Structure 1
Amino acid sequence: MPIAVDACAAQHQGDRKEQQDRVAILPHARSKGVALAVVADGMGGHTGGALAAEQVIHTTKNNLDHFAPAEESARWLLENSMREAHTMIKASRFMNEKDPHSTAVMMLLQPGRVTWGHCGDSRLYRFRDGQLLGRTVDHSFVEHLVAIGKITPEQAETHPNRNVLMTSLGGQDEPRFDFGDTDDLRPGDSFMLCSDGIWAYFDEAEMGALLKQNSARKACEKIIELARQRAAGSGDNLSLAVIRLLEIEVPKNRPPAGFVPRTSS
């Protein structure tokens, strides 16, 4: 079944003095049907976080440009991109005397397969016809508490330490990465990558409905608009990338290849 891709990346500065998020959807330079979406949420004071997030995008784009889909694995590309970005962000401390860090979530789309990876609390959501199929699990203190049974997922949503990360790119310790993939792709599937400035204001059912009922561009516009309203003047940077899979309608009664209609005189 032929599938088309409807994609859009968007962001808003929110109520912060600086935009420290970065988001991009990057097509492969040589391989048709291969593209990579990435969201990075920078941290580290004035300009430091923005530089860290920018490094994630720069490193990922460079690695994608050199990626050979037929010879190299998607997971290798994602892990290598995050690991290299971590090294470069960490090294930048000595040059600019800042303490830069960044989260990262990225997804590689190839014909018939999607692969994703993340570090920190920027998330990937996967929906089918508006129903949640799964999401990444944050590398955060509250998700750790949920995992060991200390608090419930509902309590995690309002926990005072929900933004405390246990790993990130650019920190002193080696970062933690988690990965996932699927070859079960159908029209009606949608993926959203986003920073915590987005997911903090939505439940999964509402997200799924917005992605199902709107084009990628319109969904981005509505999600940002609703997040801004709900932030009530104290909102974080907002960044998201939406990828929707659509069925391509094949025209019926198409003439056979090589058929040339003739008219009689």
Structure 2
Amino acid sequence: MNSSTLSYRLVATTALHRGDRQYQQDQVALLTHPRVKGCVLGIVADGMGGKSGGRKASDQVLMTARQVFERYSVKDDDAQATLGQIVTEAHLVIKLTAISSEEEPHSTIAAFLVGPQRQCDVVHAGDSRVYHFRGADLVWRSKDHSYVQTLIDAGQLTEEEANVHPQSNLLTGCLGTFEDPPVSFKHIPELMVGDTIMACSDGLWHYFTSKEMGAIVSTLPPREASEMLINKARQRARGGGDNLSLSLVRVEALKDPLLASTPFSPLTPSSLYGQ
């Protein structure tokens, strides 16, 4: 049977950990649409800007995402435009927050919107990433808006060299800056059974190759996979790790023959791992 005609369910998880930082400035969510079955929004925001500025920024990203997604009409609205609206509105709100505070709040964003026909749209700004795996194989990942990415694009660095570059955390744009953020989109026509879509902050992806990530998300249930990713990243950071966050959805075939006539099984409740 073709994977497009298989009955399926979306299995999801979120994970959040402070790492070795004094403050938690990442925020993560996985939202189910209030009116449409099978429509979900996964989002990660990595805040920056002093003791509380970064948390204010990432909070604003998630608050904006919830408000926009609640208004989103699957039938009438364009998914990419909706993701763009989240970025635009969050960027403006963060800039307004900066006016009334002494900090300079900024945030990245990485988000995916899965529709009821398994279509998926992605947006990101900064160096939080979205990965698309088919089984263990990487199909696509977002490209960072960072200084080292410009060096990679120019052929001056490999990805391995970029990971250990002294300016690897220097961004070329994000939300809350004076300039409009660089925004990149991706449309995936259909997620297949066995596919995983994951948004995560640099505190997580920095410690893994795409091959390692694919092996983990394809062989373990989503919650266990998220726990392994967090734990491995913590071990590899050796006491110097950043905040870590991820939002993950996997498409699985329904094994229960009694559910075979059901085109969609409800989203498994998301889990929060680590504080």
TM-score (structure 1 length as normaliser): 0.93
Deviations 1:182-209 (A, max 9, x none): 1232111011110000001111111001
Helix, strand or coil: the match of 2:74?
A: coil
What is the alpha-carbon distance in structure 2 between the residues aligned to residue 59 and residue 18 of structure 1? 22
| Counterpart position of 2:22 | 17
Q: Does 1:62 align with 2:77?
A: no
For 1:59, give the aligned amino acid. T
Helix, strand or coil: the match of 1:160?
A: coil
Q: Which of 30, 36, 39 matches 1:31?
A: 36
Deviations 1:89-131 (A, max 9, x none): 0011111121000000000011220110000000001111111
Q: Does 1:127 align with 2:154?
A: no
The more displaced of 180-189 and 147-156 is 147-156
What is the alpha-carbon distance in structure 2 between the residues aligned to residue 250 and residue 183 of structure 1? 27
Between structure 1 and structure 2, the one with the greater Rg is: 1
Helix, strand or coil: the match of 1:10?
A: strand
Structure 1 residue 250 displacement after superposition: 5.4
Helix, strand or coil: the match of 1:97?
A: coil
Equivalences for residues 1-265 of structure 1 within 5 A: 1-112=6-117, 113-249=119-255, 251=257
Structure 1 residue 249 displacement after superposition: 2.7
Deviations 1:192-249 (A, max 9, x none): 1100000011111110011011111111111111111111111100101111110113
What is the alpha-carbon distance in structure 2 between the residues aligned to residue 235 and residue 154 of structure 1? 18
| Counterpart position of 2:3 | none
For structure 2, the 5+ residue unaligned runs are 1-5, 261-275
Q: Which 4+ stretches in 1 moved above 6 angstroms?
A: none
**Identical positions, percent:** 41
Q: CA RMSD in A?
A: 1.2
Helix, strand or coil: the match of 1:46?
A: helix
TM-score (structure 2 length as normaliser): 0.90
What is the alpha-carbon distance in structure 2 between the residues aligned to residue 10 and residue 117 of structure 1? 20
Cα pair 2:36 2:116 within 8 Å, conserved: no
What is the alpha-carbon distance in structure 2 between the residues aligned to residue 78 and residue 222 of structure 1? 29
Cα pair 2:45 2:58 within 8 Å, conserved: yes
The more displaced of 180-189 and 4-13 is 180-189
Structure 1 residue 150 displacement after superposition: 2.1
Higher relative contact order (CA 8 A, sep 6+): 2
The more displaced of 178-187 and 10-19 is 178-187
The more displaced of 182-191 and 51-60 is 182-191
What is the alpha-carbon distance in structure 2 between the residues aligned to residue 155 and residue 127 of structure 1? 24
Deviations 1:70-91 (A, max 9, x none): 0010001100001100000001
What is the alpha-carbon distance in structure 1 between the residues aligned to residue 225 and residue 76 of structure 2? 35
The count of residues paired between Structure 1 and Structure 2 equals 253
| Counterpart position of 2:271 | none
What is the alpha-carbon distance in structure 1 between the residues aligned to residue 215 and residue 165 of structure 2? 26
For structure 1, the 5+ residue unaligned runs are 255-265
